[in-house]
Structure 1
Amino acid sequence: MKKVLYFLLTKSIGFNINLLSFLFPEKAIQMAHGYFSEPRKGKFTKEALPKTLQSADFETIHYNGDTIQTYIWKGNETVVLLIHGWESNSSRWKKLLPYLKKSGSTIVAIDGPAQGLSSGKEFTIPKYAEFIDIVVQKYQPNYIIGHSMGGKTSLYYQFKYQNPNVQKMVILGAPSDFNIILNNFTKLLSLNTKMTKALSDKYTAILNQNLSEFSGAAFASKINVKGFLAHDVEDTIVLFKEGEKIADSWKDVQFTETKGLGHKLHDDNLYQKVYAFLFETETLV
């Protein structure tokens, strides 16, 4: 029943956008952009702070009218930065945190734009990367761990800023091709050709790049950082072949294939491998 209601809802939204595209095209583009870029989950208030984050120190960074929320678990001089994905927040690291704390490192987690306690209405990779850069300047992380869209944003961040302080990156379940994400969205809503082209033009302008080149694989090919990449063969949110594309492009990467973990990739064995990759001389195989 839920699937039927979801199908009807998405098609109804698409029908309204298609209709608007002939009457008020700018409003139609704005509406479609809103559905594509505004997270509908992942926000919370200080009064309803997830338990995982209650043990952290809070640092709210104000920059150019934005509020960037970070959570810090203080340790030694080695700093690990955690980058969550779409419609999520820093509490998604609950199951990985015990492994990172065991290393004695300082752990910093960031809420992305329009998620957690950070400000904003829209989530875009360039905006998220800008948030990351502000946090990086303050905390100077040695290692970055990103999940899903946070993983792709991490690759984009390193591609764009070429931070020499970042020594290793862990990328979990990340998408590669932006075109696939956009095409899935337009198909889900059954948007007409006019709207599909209008959205493509809009995001070409937002990303300031040809959409076919705005890919995790392209970003990975331009970074000189050791990588650990994990993707589940049964991931239905971001298909396994997306991970393969990134792995094929990354010069120095350890690619781990999992099965049965889905998109979230919560698993003790996998987290042991992540720990070994980051903190031990020899990695687990």
Structure 2
Amino acid sequence: MVNSALESHRAPYLKQFRICFYINKSAQSTVTKWLEFVWSRQVERLELRFLCRSQNRTVVLEDMLGGMRPMKYLRELCWINMKVSGEDISLFLRNCPLLRKLTVISSNLTSDVHVCGQTLMLEYLQLHHCVLSSESSLINISAPHLSEVKIGASPGQLWFKNVPKLVVATFLHHFAFQVSCITSQLHKLTLSVSYTEFLDKFKDETPEAERCPHQRLEILEFRGSSASNIIQSMTYICDEFQKYNTCAPVMSEAEVQAHRDHLKQLKAKLSNQFRLCFFKVKC
């Protein structure tokens, strides 16, 4: 059905081309043919989303790019659940001069990623829930028009060099992230905090235990008119958290209530610069 629809399509322009389905190795050649159709059209948005039963069957993007041609009209690109190399990303950045938005989700990044270039028009970059090939893998970003990023990486893996227009940044998984991309233009910084390991460690031992609200933090969001305002808020919050560095797997109701009151005071004092979100935990 898909093949007949593509064969009957004669228009040179497509607003969006989206592939989303379960796949196995035998179907990869078919997807390659579909992409040959994409290379021959003026496509603005391209999304490849694949579901498979095991990592061994994950689609390798490089295997489908043999016939790729320059995509002069592509503005948005999204890859979900694929094996993507840094070379794949660089190839698209070179061949898609108008690319504004790049999203890679739940994928394996098999080599270092370099999103770099003085002529890049990229404004939005998301590398979300991706697995890097090793602890020494790097994500290097130098994009003069980049205004928003959402990235999950360990400390030391992410490096920014030239991002003068970056105003919104979201970092996932690591609260103690070394925020090396702070610029004077930054207006919003969101840090995602993982509570999963804490829960897994103690859920069997203390199923009915009171949970400290500090340990249920999922998101810390900072807003400010400049990077200095955000840094000031972050410093204040970290200092305040250190004062209540008494969280434990098992706490009395009075201790938990004292920590709740502490967070309420923080939220009231920094209501315009600071927002908290919590995991909903059912003991």
TM (norm. structure 2) is 0.31
Higher relative CO (Cα under 8 Å, sequence separation at least 6) belongs to 1
Which protein shows a greater Rg? Answer: 2
More helix by share: 1
Q: Which has the higher strand share?
A: 2
